[in-house]
Amino acid sequence: MPTIRTVSRALRLEPPKIKGSRFIASIEPVVSPEDAMAFVEARREEFRDATHNCFAWRLGLDQDAMRFSDDGEPSGTAGRPILQEIDGRRLTNVAVVVTRYYGGTKLGTGGLIRAYGGAAADALDAATIVETPIVEMLRFVFGYEHSGAVQGVLSAFSLEPTQADYGARIRMVIAVPIEDVERLEQALIDATRGQVNLRPGA
């Protein structure tokens, strides 16, 4: 079964101050760009009085599935060093936000790179690393009359929805091991007699 290396759970770590500046690293496992950015925005809100909230995240095995930000720090001194710590551990499906409260003394380019990269490194080193199956996010929509059949299929695959919306029709999002996607789609089509709208991607 194809797997990826990621962190098992959210974690926060604050190393000793550097010339009066506080650096707080927050990490979390994520499964989509929306998930990653929601984590970033939540930290921005939590630390809205901070000087900077710099971040990096990487998803899946696609080398382009990543993003980073210096959040006002000099270019290349914050987001990229954080991403390098993620990549150096061969991790993915993880987001890291390093929050800075300025302490009154400038650190210079090299000092900032060491501070942001170091805070991310300390947090990632403290995290429990796990190997998890590679998953694809599958969205699907169906009528209430098929809810029992759909639940039967999900139970057979030992899956639970990551999101569910019970409006005029039922909308679900499920993280499916990549090798099971085609079999699950066919099972859902068979169980609902084709009355399910499948949309890969989340």
Residues 110-121 have pLDDT tens digits of 999 999 999 999
Strand order in the sheet with 22-29: 11-13, 22-29, 94-101, 52-58, 66-69
Q: Which domains does the chain have, with CATH numbers?
A: 3-131 (3.30.230.30), 134-200 (3.30.70.240)
Give the number of other CB atoms < 10 A from CB of residue 114.
16
**pTM of the complete model:** 0.71
Residues 10-67 have pLDDT tens digits of 999 999 999 999 999 999 999 889 999 999 999 999 999 999 999 999 998 766 789 9
